[in-house]
Amino acid sequence: MSRMKYINDNKLGFTLIELLAAIVVLAIILSLAIPAYGTYVRSSRSKAYDVAYNSFKDSASDALTHCMTAPPNELITFCNVHTAPKDQYHYDVITGSDLVKFNYIDPIVDPEDTSKTCDMDHSYVYISNKANSEEENNYEFVYKVCLICGDKKSEDCRDDILSEIESEWQTSCVITYDEAGTVSYDGKWTDQDLYLGLTSTGNYKYGINEYRYQIGEEKWISVRAINDVANVHLTRTVGDKPINIETYDGMNQVRKTTCTSNGGTSVKLDKTVIAGVVIDGKETDGTAVKNNEWSRTDVVLTAVVNPNESASGYIYTWYKDGEVIPGVTGNTYTAKEWGNYKVEVTNGVGKQHVMSEEFVVKIDRKAPTCELVVTGQMAGEWYIGDVTVDFKTMNDLEENGVMGSGIKKQALSHTIVNTDGALITVTGTVTDNVGRQGTCSATVKRDAKTPSATPKKPTLPLGNGSYDFKNNLNVNFGPSGGTIVCVPPTSKGTGTYTVTCTLTSNANKKQSTVSFMVRHSYAATRVKKTCSKKVNCQDKEYCTKNEPCDPWRCDGCSWPGGCCIQYHNSTCCVGEYVTHTECETKYYDCSYYTCPNGGTLRGSTCNY
């Protein structure tokens, strides 16, 4: 603690030499820093001015591009004053105040004094076109910028341009019916020639050099100014279009305006001459219908005018049978009724009235009808021979009883029916002149067939029971059917005889006969019996009397050899030898049939 106190007590401040050295160092530093700072400030301001310069130029380019490309409904007043130079002999000057006024740029801050803005009233962009004037819409713009900020001006600033900017002048356009300009145009549709009187007033120093006018978006037309005025004679159709005017002074400075009527409307001049009108007809599905030709549906009538368009438009008045059809003013009308139709066409000027030829509409909405007649020999409700079919009636009447388009063709499914059938349908088809079809039909019952039959069994075996002989027939009747009569009708119960059956058609009464044999019989009774017979018979000898022989003796036996010593238990024949036949017995079925109830046995059948 005492050491620190010693130091502080002995170091009271800088010496004079130290202070002088510090001052010298600071002076050297300042001598270097101040010029560098000045250079930095001047460089920064220059860069800020360059940025402002380019921004000013770009905003003018954007504004000019907008006027050249925007649809007419998006154009603003700015574009009525400024236009793209059409060739190398024209130019446009866009001031900074115009760019600010129409929001293409904000006021530019003065780089020298940021509390102020540049002089936007006298700053401008001079725009010229280096392109060949003979080529339409060919642009090669050159921009020269005059930006005034405080005392600083860009090198492209020109006093004569500044003087021109300060001048105020404008062009007026008066539309009249006469060249003298005494009868003003009222803005209504007209077919008279019109005159545009172009006059410039104000402080223009170099005189009016040229007027240009443009109808709608057509090509610009140049008119030489004489004593600063011009007169344009309109002799052709303009239509409901604006007429744009550009005025160029001696410095080719441009002013723009639009010609309108006293009421502020566009020019409505229609020189169209209606050459004629015809009516075109179509069915509702688009099928063409000629005049006085039948239609299947309502007819859509369309007025076709030559020429097909008019600047003032067309007004249509439709007539039916000489009377105006109320409420119809369009070029089409749908005819739902028969009649003679006309259309009168008037243009918007109201001075031309052209009437078409009559178009006769005939509508056939209903299909035709018909009825058939059938002729031929009949028996009751049946035809028994060939049948002829034809149309009895055909008509094509509409709902109101008026005759339609008429029958164009007819066809029958059968003209002659020569086949049998219980329900043969004949169909007639009639077609009218618009292609609708109607049908009619008749039912024919025909039976011209001769019945026939074949016996199921040519010889019919029967017992003694009852039997209906019709059951032995395979019958082939016509569709009306028939009857069968057999003689005898049923079995007799005994004997063999012939049955004859007659077949008769119900409709045509034609007959045929068929015969077959009948044989009555019944099964014989089988009597079962077994018989036998001798088979394999052979003749053999045998001794009538035998007795045992003594094995040790060889005499006393009549057996051949007389000795049976060697045969133990043998016998000796002491009687006579006789011959007899031995056979085998075989048994077999020898059953037989019998007719216990009488009759003649034939095999296993008993015939009565």
Q: Model-level pTM? A: 0.54
pLDDT in tens, 573-590: 677 778 888 888 888 888
Which of 409, 440, 410 is CA-nearest to residue 425?
A: 440
pLDDT in tens, 171-184: 888 899 998 888 99
The whole-angstrom distance between residue 523's C-alpha and the CA centroid of its chain comes to 85
Least confident of 31-35, 229-233, 247-251, 390-394: 31-35
Question: Per-residue pLDDT averaged across 211-240, rounded?
Answer: 86
Phi-psi region of 578 (alpha: psi -120 to 50; beta: other; left: phi over 0): beta
What is the spatial distance between Cα 553 and Cα 568, in angstroms, rounded to a whole number? Answer: 11
Q: Residue 10: pLDDT above 60?
A: no
What is the spatial distance between Cα 52 and Cα 116, in angstroms, rounded to a whole number? Answer: 14
**Residue 137, number of CB atoms within 10 A of its CB:** 8
Q: Residue 252: pLDDT above 70?
A: no
Q: Residue 345: pLDDT above 90?
A: yes
Question: Per-residue pLDDT averaged across 154-175, rounded?
Answer: 77
Same fold, 369-446 and 452-522: yes
Start-to-end Cα distance in the chain: 179
- Do residues 275 and 304 touch, judged by C-beta distance below 8 A? no
Q: Residue 569: pLDDT above 50?
A: no
What is the spatial distance between Cα 601 and Cα 608, in angstroms, rounded to a whole number? Answer: 9
What is the spatial distance between Cα 447 and Cα 420, in angstroms, rounded to a whole number? Answer: 5
Return the structure tokens found at 551.
Answer: 């094995």
The pLDDT-based confidence of 39 (bands split at 50, 70, 90) is low
Q: What pLDDT is recorded for position 97?
A: 85
* List of long-range contacts for 534-537, beta carbons under 8 Å, 24+ apart: 534/583, 534/584, 534/585, 534/586, 535/583, 535/584, 535/585, 535/586, 536/583, 536/584, 537/581, 537/582, 537/583, 537/584
| Rounded to 5°, angle at Cα 600 from 596 and 601 | 75
CATH code matching the domain that covers 452-522, chosen among 2.120.10, 2.60.40, 1.10.40, 3.40.50: 2.60.40
pLDDT in tens, 524-567: 888 898 888 888 888 887 777 777 665 555 454 544 444 444 44
User: Is pLDDT larger for residue 44 or for residue 416?
Assistant: 416
Q: Residue 254: pLDDT above 90?
A: no
Residue with tokens 């003018």: 60
**Residue 362, number of CB atoms within 10 A of its CB:** 18
| Rounded to 5°, angle at Cα 329 from 338 and 277 | 75
Q: Residue 3: pLDDT above 50?
A: no
User: Is pLDDT larger for residue 163 or for residue 175?
Assistant: 175
By residue count, the chain amounts to 608
Q: Are strands 511-523 and 459-462 parallel, antiparallel or unpaired?
A: parallel
Using DSSP's 3-state secondary structure scheme, residue 194 falls into strand
Least confident of 147-151, 342-346, 455-459: 147-151
| pLDDT > 90 in the chain, percent | 37
Q: What pLDDT is recorded for position 17?
A: 82
Most confident of 60-74, 221-235, 292-306: 292-306
User: Is pLDDT larger for residue 2 or for residue 123?
Assistant: 123
Q: What fold characterizes domain 276-363?
A: Immunoglobulin-like (2.60.40)
DSSP lists the bridge partners of residue 577 as 543
Query: Is the bond leading into 489 cis (omega within 30 degrees of zero)?
Result: no
Listed by start position, the domains of the chain span 47-157, 276-363, 369-446, 452-522, 530-590
- Do residues 291 and 359 touch, judged by C-beta distance below 8 A? yes
Residue 150 amino acid letter? G
pLDDT in tens, 199-212: 888 776 667 888 88
- Do residues 584 and 534 touch, judged by C-beta distance below 8 A? yes
- Do residues 165 and 251 touch, judged by C-beta distance below 8 A? no
What is the spatial distance between Cα 311 and Cα 275, in angstroms, rounded to a whole number? Answer: 15
Q: For the chain, what is the mean pLDDT?
A: 84
Residue with tokens 């059968």: 414
Q: What pLDDT is recorded for position 47?
A: 83
Instruction: Using alpha carbons, list the distances in angstroms from residue 594 to 604, 605, 607.
Output: 8, 9, 12
User: Is pLDDT larger for residue 558 or for residue 334?
Assistant: 334
Q: What pLDDT is recorded for position 479?
A: 94
| Rounded to 5°, angle at Cα 183 from 180 and 188 | 130
CATH class of the structural domain 369-446: mainly beta
Q: What pLDDT is recorded for position 36?
A: 57
Residue 549 amino acid letter? C
What is the spatial distance between Cα 291 and Cα 297, in angstroms, rounded to a whole number? Answer: 14
Q: What pLDDT is recorded for position 324?
A: 96
pLDDT in tens, 104-122: 999 998 888 888 899 888 8
User: Is pLDDT larger for residue 13 or for residue 229?
Assistant: 229
Q: Residue 8: pLDDT above 60?
A: no
Least confident of 78-82, 144-148, 350-354: 78-82
pLDDT in tens, 260-281: 877 777 888 999 999 999 999 9
**DSSP 8-state secondary structure symbol assigned to residue 265:** P
Question: Per-residue pLDDT averaged across 233-257, rounded?
Answer: 82
Q: Which residues lie below 8 Å from residue 123, measured CB to CB, with a gap of 6+?
A: 56, 95, 96, 108, 146, 147, 148
Residue 501 amino acid letter? C
Q: Which residues lie below 8 Å from residue 539, measured CB to CB, with a gap of 6+?
A: 579, 580, 581, 582
pLDDT in tens, 442-498: 999 999 999 999 999 999 888 878 899 999 999 999 999 999 999 999 998 888 899
Helix (H) or strand (E) holding 54: helix 16-69
**DSSP 8-state secondary structure symbol assigned to residue 311:** T
